Amino acid sequence: MTIRVNLAESSYDIQIENNAIDRCGNLFDKYNKVFIVTDSGVPKEYSERVAKSANGKAVVFVMKRGEENKNFVTLMNICNDMLTNGLTRKDCVCAVGGGVVGDITAFAASIYMRGIDFYNFPTTLLSMVDSSSGGKTGIDFGNVKNVIGTFYQPKKVIIDPSVLKTLSERQVRCGLAEALKMAATFDSKLFDFMSKGSFTDGEMQHIIERSVELKKSIVEKDVKEKSIRKSLNFGHTIGHGIEVAGKESRYHGECVAIGMVAMSSGEARSRIIKTLSKLGLPTDADFDTEKVMGAIVHDKKATGNGKISSVIVDRIGEYRIEDLTAEELTKRLNSIKRCT
């Protein structure tokens, strides 16, 4: 399946195909070199197979795994290696990994020589359904996620569901959280489908395809997050705060899941809690409210008037955006605080 993202001169295809990892070499034929970035947590075979498909043109850079390494130091090391290997605008960069790898690699591609071609080969469910497309790039800085970055569209995104076989169950659940986020805000039928909690390989591919279609339609309407694209932040405002300042070690998708509970109400909230539980995702957390709120108020979604632009779901398949005060957010935050 190929999904076209129509963005005028920045348009590109998202290809969803099993075993595409061994058939992506034709993408690189026009380039002198292919600079592949992966991390130490991604099975080595994936970057090796992409490199092999590049017919001897590839250079592989391996960064340390983990969100804490999505920083200026790693960015500098990537750019330094690109320069050392003599990359020019006749070359390209390819990310092979999850959201951390995709974000920082795309950022490096966007600023190196004022921009060279970038390809994304996501290897986690979370990056497949969300972060690999849309053109958001960035690094974390000052304990704030993705606060420094650019909008830079890839030349192509290649999604190979077969690589999910090496993904841990926990990482799969994190990806399902991001898919559920889009279902909760835009597609009640997809939400109903996901509410059963377990899926065959074919059903998982359907979730990927539908999530990508939803993301594509949103990005085409609002590339730089001025309006409708803000909806994709459902669960992220509070989720990011818990991720960087919570007492527990939580993955991004788990924090988004908890954030969705906080930012929903009524029947939507009860249905979200029930579905998250079926998917094996958390619905509450242990944290210091003051520390989490400190992270939230420095989030890039702050409006500048002392309020935070927040996405709220009162009914599955619909959303509203409201500027909330710190007091209002604190109340929602405390609603998902685990009693200890």
Q: Is 298 annotated in the active site?
A: no
Can you name the residues that pair with 59 across neighbouring β-strands? 35
The verdict on whether 240 is a catalytic residue reads yes
Set 69, 120, 146, 233: catalytic member? 233
Report the mean per-residue pLDDT for the chain.
Answer: 93
Query: Where do the domains of the chain lie, and which CATH numbers do they carry?
Result: 2-167 (3.40.50.1970), 176-198+222-334 (1.20.1090.10)
Q: Which of 49, 229, 271, 332 is catalytic?
A: 229
Decide if 206 is catalytic.
no
* The pTM of the whole model exceeds 0.85: yes
Burial, 168: exposed, middle or buried (Cβ in 10 Å; 0-12, 13-18, 19+)? exposed
Active site residue 233: yes
274 is catalytic: no
Residue 305 annotated among the catalytic residues of the structure = no
Q: Which of 155, 173, 210, 240 is catalytic?
A: 240
Beta strands 58-63 and 12-16: pairing type?
Answer: unpaired
Over the stretch 175-190, which tens digit does the pLDDT of each residue have? 999 999 999 999 999 9
The answer to whether residue 229 is catalytic is yes
Active-site entry in 33, 70, 145, 178: 178
Question: Backbone phi, then psi, for 237, in 5-degree steps?
Answer: -60, -55
What pLDDT, in 10s, does the model give residues 269-282?
999 999 999 999 99
Beta strands, E only, the chain: 2-5, 12-16, 34-39, 58-63, 92-97, 117-122, 139-141, 144-148, 156-159, 307-312, 320-325
Question: What are the distances in angstroms from CA 127 to CA 45, 56, 101?
Answer: 18, 27, 10
pLDDT digits (tens), the chain, 340 positions: 999 999 999 999 999 999 998 888 788 888 999 999 999 999 999 999 999 988 878 999 999 999 999 999 999 999 999 999 999 999 999 999 999 999 999 999 999 999 999 999 999 999 999 999 999 999 999 878 889 999 999 999 999 999 999 999 999 999 999 999 999 999 999 999 999 888 999 999 999 999 999 999 999 999 998 899 999 999 999 998 998 887 888 999 999 999 999 999 999 999 999 999 999 999 999 988 998 998 888 665 555 567 898 999 999 999 999 999 999 999 999 999 887 6
**Residue 69 is a catalytic residue:** no
Q: Which residues pair with 63 in a beta bridge?
A: 39
* Residue tagged active-site, from 9, 26, 114, 165: 114
Q: Please tell me the distance from the alpha carbon of residue 209 to that of residue 236, in angstroms, as a whole number.
A: 22
* Partners of residue 119 on adjacent β-strands: 94, 156
